[in-house]
Structure 1
Amino acid sequence: MHSANARLAIEQASKKAPKRKARRTREERSEETRRNLIQAGARTVGRYGYEKASVARITAKAKVALGTFYRHFNSRQEFFDQLLPAMGDHLMDFLRTRVDPGVVGAEREEQRLRAYFSFLEEHPWYHRLLNESEVMAPRAHAAYLELMAAGLVRSFHRGQKRGEMAAFKEAELRTLAYIVMASRVYLATQWGGYKGKNVTPPNDVLNTYTKFIQRALFD
Structure 2
Amino acid sequence: MHFQSLAVILSLGLVNYAACIDYDGWLNIKIEHSLNCGTEKYCPRGNIALKSIRAGAAVVDQIHFNKGHIQALKNLAEIDSFYTIRTLVTSAENSKGTEFFSSVKAKAFLGNGLSDVINAWVLPNGAVIAVSFQVTNASQPLSLESGTQKINSNFYLRYVEQAPVPDTATYIQKLEREREAREKGDLKDNKSFLAKYWMYIVPIAIFVMISGASNPEPAAQGAR
Same-fold status (TM-score > 0.5):
no
Larger helix share, 1 or 2: 1
State TM-score, norm by structure 1: 0.28
Larger strand share, 1 or 2: 2
Relative contact order (C-alpha < 8 Å, sep 6+): which is higher?
1
